[in-house]
Structure 1
Amino acid sequence: MNFLVVFIPFAFAIILGRIMFPFILLVSYRKRLFDPIDERKLHQRIIPRLGGVAFAPIQCCLLVLTLVVIFKLTSINLHVESWAILPSLMVLVCGLFILYVVGLGDDLVGVDYKWKFLIQICVASLFPLSGLWINDCYGLFFIGSLSPWIGFPITIFIVVLIINAINLMDGLDGLCSGVVGVGCLFLGTLFLLERAWLHALFAFITTGVLIPFFYYNVFGTSRRKRQIFMGDTGSMTLGFSMSFLAISFAMNNHFIKPFSLGAITVACSTLIIPVFDVARVVYVRWRIGKPLFKPDRNHLHHKLLRMGLSRKATLLTILFLTLFFPVINCFLVKYVDSNIVVGCDILLWLGVHLSFNLEEKRRGKIKSKSYLTTKLHI
């Protein structure tokens, strides 16, 4: 019965998403609410960007209604200490609502990035206030338990970093929803194995609503192939959702799940691709003197496209890497020290990125030679 508590809302999330996204498409086309086209964007036709409007309402409503049904209408025992878990769930709903409003305003009329950054910090501060924060490194960097004076700022920084990393991943059809979907599915499965039913419930609801969106984002409607983007409304709320799941799994709190060595390493593994990519992009911008928050075409998916991969191949490559790191790390932390695992992750990422750079340069030289040959021939 406990597994049904997770999988029935998961099915309802898929159904509700399947109903809402065509409706959002219809409203967006009638009201002409489209994503602007510029030289930085990969798409060259008008596409609505309000798909994320459906995420937070479905997530919050299904989570709350499921809990009401469980605790009021059934005799299912989830073995949950409500006084310990309820504050973080209430903060989750509150934070999703705030980011939902800000993201919707940004998608419709635009919001200055400084205000968005300030609001993200305020929302991230809600987690430590509710008792959800990074309180143990499990020996990572040879650090054990953390005091609130250190854990609180680290938690706020991590939440803001994840929100922006997920937001910056939204540059290719299916990429952001695919990366978050893979992460939620992986963490949800781990929560199930640990019998953390409420966190598994939220993870699978989020995965469920992303499945129909992924279809409409990548393939479009069956008739006119009309696609839809999630916009900042979706990317920021998804980033906040991933922050909640990752920090909950990483936190040393027996009310959430039993102690598991390497929990913080496994939780962070689901975010290696977006976080490492945004760290690299920000470093490159700082090194060449460009504004840190100015968009460019230097992200991982841009590199893969310049290498000659198709959009579908680029998407599959990044999703494979997103799943590869957490699956491998989940097994390695049982037998290898977390510091060695993290070191291997960094070296592997650098190796993969270096190979991409070399292939990109090789392709660029081939194109240059081809251009010169054609010009001389003419």
Structure 2
Amino acid sequence: MQNMCIIFAAFVTAIILGSIIIPNILIISLRKRLFDEPDARKVHKRPIPRLGGVTFFPVILCTSSFFIAVRFLIGNLDVTQLLNGGVTELLFLISGLTLLYVIGIADDLIGVRYRKKFLVQIISASFFPLAGLTINNFYGLFGIYEIPACIGIPFTVLLAVFITNAINLIDGIDGLASSLSMIALAVLGIIFMIKEEWEYALLAFVCVGIIIPFFTYNVFGNADRGRKIFMGDTGSLTLGYILSFFVIKYCMYTGSVPAENLIDSPILVCFSILLVPSLDVVRVVLRRARNGKSLFKPDKTHIHHKFLDMGFSPRKALISIQLMSAGLCLFTLITVHQGWDDTLVFIIDVLVWSGLNLWFDKVIKMRRNNSVIK
């Protein structure tokens, strides 16, 4: 109970700090004219400050460090367990976040070429295997269980880069990346609470706490009054990297229970809560490769662009994508818990996602044809 009270206090503190800092970031952005300028690819029609994500890392670091120290002072922290791996993992996490924070700010202020950002992402992702965190078991997905280190280590780095970019690329309309990240972090936080890994649960809910005030300004802020802000690459890279850390931490097989006897597959659980950004990135990259376009050049083919092309407003598109994500996530969690084969559930998810996208394409085509006729 004491651990839960500390987590709640950390969660509230993150909300308060975010609510104090974000308005000041807005003032600085407006005075220095640090805007995200509209163009043909973007949804907004007027310049909007894009430094909301600058708030994330400092608040997360400050709040998490403070309340972990509080747990230590009141004797509610298992120091032995923390020293056996937790400290190393958290320090490498902070190191990677620092690199991404710096490159994110540089990109938001002056722009950074994608190759440089990609290189920094790979370096940051490489910190996870150094901390002893790797994907070492597939828990029966595609009939695969144990994964040798020679495959698991590069796969871990690839997965971390993939998740980081998935959150970065889904950040196309107000509240989408932040709300998807917030829900995923909340689910992972609850999982770590159940597993009694309190430091990670605390970190997850601190992240949720800082997202809440940002989400308020991002979705409900009035641009005409200078009360609206974007997270920018600084924010999306921070959230994506933290999510990748939690996913790898949760999915790493520790050997406490035989992998064959686990009821819920960690791989599929994580896939379900990040299904929309993950499958959207795969779809967009495959489409670009098929059309002979650069895999890294931005375009208007993401899932949120499809909803806008179908006539949805940004707010309705946000709600619809969230409902779609929640439906697929619930289906996956329920079927896996009931003992369905992991591979079958994964295939159904991909087929449903593909079918929905084909339907969306037909609706967009019909809408465009009707516009031409009129």
Unaligned runs of 5+ in 2: none
Alignment-derived partner of residue 360 in structure 1? 364
Q: Following superposition of structure 1 onto structure 2, how do residues 326-337 of structure 1 map, counting pairs within 5 Å?
A: 326-334=329-337, 335-337=339-341
Q: Secondary structure at the match of 1:333?
A: helix
Structure 1 residues 113, 80: closer, same or farther in 2, change over 3 A?
same
Measured in 1, the distance between the counterparts of 2:114 and 2:268 equals 31
- SS of 2:357's partner is helix
CA distance in 2: counterparts of 1:279 and 1:175, whole angstroms? 18
SS at match of 1:12: helix
Which deviates the most, 297-306 or 222-231?
A: 222-231
Q: Is the 8 A contact 1:219 1:225 kept in 2?
A: no
Matches within 5 A, 1:132-151: 132-151=133-152
Q: Is the contact made by 2:26 and 2:226 (CA closer than 8 Å) also made in structure 1?
A: no
> What is the CA–CA distance in structure 2 between the aligned matches of 1:35 and 1:131, rounded to whole Å?
39
Query: Equivalent residue for 1:213?
Result: 214
Corresponding residue number in structure 2 for 1:180: 181
Work out the percentage of aligned pairs sharing the same amino acid: 44
Which one-letter code corresponds to 1:128 in the other structure? P
Amino acid at match of 1:47: I
Q: Give how far 1:327 is off.
A: 2.8
- 1:74 maps to 74
Return the letter of the residue paired with 1:282.
Answer: V
Match of 2:291 in 1: 288
Q: C-alpha separation between the residues in 2 aligned to 1:57 and 1:141?
A: 40
| Contact 1:166–1:239 (8 Å) recurs in 2 | yes
Structure 1 residues 142 and 296, CA gap change in structure 2 (3 angstroms): same
Q: Distance in 2 between matches of 1:233 and 1:159?
A: 16
Tell me the CA shift for residue 223 of structure 1. 8.6
Matched, 1:253 2:257: no
Tell me the secondary structure at the aligned position of residue 301 of structure 2.
coil
Q: Specify the alignment match of 1:38 in structure 2.
A: 39
Per the TM alignment, residue 330 of structure 1 is displaced from its structure 2 partner at its CA by: 2.0
Q: If the length of structure 1 is used for normalisation, what is the TM-score?
A: 0.93
Tell me which residue corresponds to 1:277: 280
For residue 329 of structure 1, what is the amino acid of its counterpart?
T
Contact 2:175 2:215 in 1 (8 A): yes
Q: Secondary structure at the match of 1:325?
A: helix
Write the distance in 1 (CA, Å) between the matches of 2:171 and 2:362: 25
Q: Displacement, 1:80?
A: 6.8
Q: Alignment partner of 1:252: what SS? A: coil
- Per the TM alignment, residue 5 of structure 1 is displaced from its structure 2 partner at its CA by 2.0
In structure 2, the CA distance between the partners of 1:350 and 1:26, relative to structure 1 (3 Å rule), is same
Aligned-partner Cα distance in 1 for 2:24–2:310: 37
Kindly provide the amino acid, as one letter, of the partner of residue 272 in structure 2. Answer: S
User: Which one of the candidate residues 339, 348, 352 is aligned to 1:348?
Assistant: 352
Kindly indicate whether the alpha-carbon contact (under 8 Å) linking 2:164 and 2:239 is maintained by their aligned counterparts in 1. yes
1:55 positional shift: 0.4
Q: How far 1:254 moved relative to its partner?
A: 6.2
Distance 2:56 2:149 in 1: 32
Name the aligned partner's letter for residue 330 of structure 1. Answer: L
Local SS of the residue matching 2:221: coil
Alignment of 1:114-153 (within 5 A): 114-153=115-154
Counterparts of 2:173 and 2:80, CA distance in 1:
39
Instruction: Report how far residue 359 of structure 1 moved.
Output: 1.2
Map residues 43-122 of structure 1 onto 2, 5 A cutoff.
Answer: 43-71=44-72, 73-77=73-77, 81-82=81-82, 83-122=84-123
- Which aligned pairs between 1:3-14 and structure 2 lie closer than 5 A? 3-14=4-15
How many correspondences in the alignment?
Answer: 368
Cα drift, residue 287 of structure 1: 1.1
- CA–CA separation in structure 1 for the residues paired with 2:189 and 2:322: 17
* Whole-angstrom distance in 1 between the partners of 2:119 and 2:203: 26
> Is the contact between residue 100 and residue 237 of structure 1 (CA under 8 Å) also seen in structure 2?
yes
SS at 1:96 equivalent: helix
Q: How far apart are residue 16 of structure 1 and its match? A: 0.7
Counterpart amino acid of residue 76 in structure 1: N
Q: Deviations over 1:62-87 (max 9, x none)?
A: 1111111111x212245871112221
The 10-residue stretch of structure 1 (83-92 or 298-307) with the greater mean CA deviation from structure 2: 83-92
* Cα 1:201–1:360 shift into 2, 3 Å: same
Contact 1:182/1:323, CA 8 A, preserved across alignment = no
How many angstroms apart in 2 are the aligned matches of 1:174 and 1:40?
Answer: 17
- What's 1:375 paired with? none
- Alpha-carbon distance in 2 for matches of 1:95, 1:221: 34
**Which TM-score applies when normalising by structure 2?**
0.94
Measure, in 2, the Cα distance between the counterparts of 1:300 and 1:125. 30
- CA-to-aligned-CA distance 1:4-26 (integer Å, 9 cap, x gap): 12111011111111111100000
In structure 2, the residue matched to 1:23 is 24
- Kindly tell me: are residues 46 and 181 of structure 1, through their superposed partners in 2, closer, same or farther at Cα, counting changes over 3 Å? same
Check whether the contact 2:263–2:336 (CA below 8 A) recurs between aligned residues: no
Give the RMSD, CA atoms, in angstroms. 1.9
Report the alpha carbon displacement of residue 355 of structure 1 after superposing the two structures with TM.
Answer: 1.6
Q: Partner of 1:184: helix, strand, or coil?
A: helix
Runs of 4+ in 1 over 3 A off after TM superposition: 77-80, 258-261
Match of 2:325, SS state, is helix
Offset of residue 260 of structure 1: 5.5
- CA separation of 1:51/1:80 partners in 2, compared to 1, >3 Å: closer, same or farther? farther
Identify the match of residue 373 of structure 2 among 366, 369, 374.
369
Deviation at 1:110, TM superposition (A): 1.3
In 1, the alpha carbon distance for the partners of 2:179 and 2:173 equals: 10
